[in-house]
Structure 1
C-alpha cells in the first residue's frame, strides 16, 4: 500500500502538469488547423518531443546524482536544495497559470501566428518553450516527492500514468478546446499543487535539519508514530501527497502551515478582487442605463 500511495501522489502531479501541457498543444493544433497550416504540425511535434526528452534527461541526471554520486550529509543537502527549487518553480507556475488561464488561448494564438510567419523552426521553438516549463516542474516535483516518500520505481510509473491520462484528456479537449473553462479547470488543481508544494517545503527543512544546516532537529512539534503506523495506507498517503508524517519538528510544521496559508491567501485574492470589479462594473452600467 505504501507503493500505491506514492504512485497515486506522482500520478496526480503527472496528470496536473501533463494536462496543462496537453492543453497548450491542443490549442496550438487547433490554431494550425484553422489557419490551414498543416505543414506546421511536424515542427510542433518536434518541439514537443524535444521538451519531453530534455525533461527526461533532467530526471535521469537528478536520479543519478542522488543515487550514485552523493551520500550522507551531501545527499540530504542536495535533496533539500532541489526541493526548494521545485517549490519555487511550482509557486511561480501556479500564479502564472492562474493569471493567464483566461487569456492563454488568445496569447498562444498570437504567438503561433507570429511563428507561422517566421518559419517552421519558430513553431518548434514555441512548442518547446510551452511544454518544457511543465516538464521541468513535473520532474522536480516527482523527484522531491519520491525522496520524501520512498525509493521505488512507483513515482516514475505514477508520473507516466498521469501523463498518459493527461494526453487522453488533451486529445478529447482538442475536439472542443473553445468550450474549456481554463480558469475553473486550473483553480482547484492549483490548490492541490499548493498543498503538495507545502509538503515539499517541509521536506526541504527536514533535509537541512538532518544535515545540520538548520537548528531544531530534536525539537519535535509532535510524535504520534507509536499510534500512527508510518507504513499504513493512510500514513503513507499523507506522506506521499502532502508530506504530513507521524513525526515532525516545530520548524517543519511552521514551514508547512506558513507556506500553505500565505500562498492560498494570495492565490484566491486576485480571483475575489476580479469578481468584485466585475460586479461593481455591472452595477455602474445598470445605474447609467437607468
Structure 2
C-alpha cells in the first residue's frame, strides 16, 4: 500500500479529470441520440432515452459501491486481493476502450443513429434499452476505473466526489455544445485526456501488481527496484500530488516498475499511432466534404 494518504486536492483533481473525460464521452453519446430524435421529429421518444440513461447511471453507482465498499466486510488480505484484481480488470477495460474508441470514433455517430432508427420501430422500451447500453458501456468502464483509482489512493469518498464534480462539469459542457454556445476541439481534448488516462491506468496497474504481491499471488514482493524514501517526502505537496494522481510510491518493486514501463510504452505507442492526424486532402482530391460530427474526436 502507499505510505501516506494522498492529499484531498490531488484526489479531487485526478478523479475530477477522469469524470470530465468520461462524462463528456457519455454526454456526446446522449447528445447524438437526442439530436437524431429531434431531427426525426420524434421528441416523444426523448423520455425513453432519459429512462435508459437513468438506469445506466444507477447501474454504474451500484457497481462502484458494491466493489468499493464490499471489501470492508472481508479480511484485510481478501480485501487486498479483491482490490488488486479489480484494479487489473479496470486497467484492461480502460485500455481496450481507449484504443477501441480511437479507431471507432469515425463511425460511432452513424452507428448510434442506425441503432436508434431500429429501436424506434420496436417501441419505447427498445429506445430505452438502446440508451442504457450506449451509456452503460461508458459507465461500466468509468465505474471499474474509479474502483481501481479509489483503492490505489486509499482516499475513501474523495475520489468519488471528484468524479461527480467532473461529471457535472461534463454535463454543463455537453449542454453548451448541444446549444452551440461553445466549440471544442474534440481530437485534442480526447488525445490529451487519453494520454492522462494511460498514465493513471499505469499507476493503477502498479498498485494491482503490488496488491497481488502482498497476498502472495505474485512473487517478488520484497525485491525493490529502488528506494528513495530517504530523499523523497511523500507527505509534501509534490509527493501527495503525484501519489494522488499517478499512484507513485518511492519504493516500488521490480515487478511494478517493469509492468508500469511496459504498459506505458506499448499502450501509449498504440494510442498515439491510432490518433495520428492524417494530412488533409486537397480540394481537388475531395470534391465533397461531410461536416464533422461532435464525436469525431473520441
TM-score by length of 1: 0.90
Structure 1 moving runs of 4+ over 3 Å: 176-185
CA contact (8 A) 2:68 2:151 kept: no
Give the aligned partner of residue 269 of structure 2: 265
Give the aligned partner of residue 168 of structure 1: 172
Within the alignment, does 1:40 sit opposite 2:37 as a pair? no
Deviations 1:37-92 (A, max 9, x none): 01111100000000000111111111232112x22221111111000110111011
For residues 167 and 253 of structure 1, do their structure 2 counterparts lie closer, same or farther at Cα, with a shift above 3 Å needed? same
For residues 178 and 3 of structure 1, do their structure 2 counterparts lie closer, same or farther at Cα, with a shift above 3 Å needed? closer
| Aligned pairs (5 A) from 1:216-227 | 216-227=220-231
Give the aligned partner of residue 229 of structure 1: 233
CA contact (8 A) 2:11 2:155 kept: no
Give the aligned partner of residue 195 of structure 1: 199
TM-score by length of 2: 0.88
Within the alignment, does 1:5 sit opposite 2:10 as a pair? yes
SS at match of 1:248: coil
| Aligned pairs (5 A) from 1:107-146 | 107-146=111-150
Within the alignment, does 1:85 sit opposite 2:89 as a pair? yes
Distance 1:224 1:3 in 2: 24
Distance 1:181 1:153 in 2: 32
CA contact (8 A) 2:64 2:146 kept: no
Q: CA deviation at 1:270?
A: 3.1
CA contact (8 A) 2:102 2:274 kept: no
- Where does structure 1 lack aligned partners over 5 or more consecutive residues? none
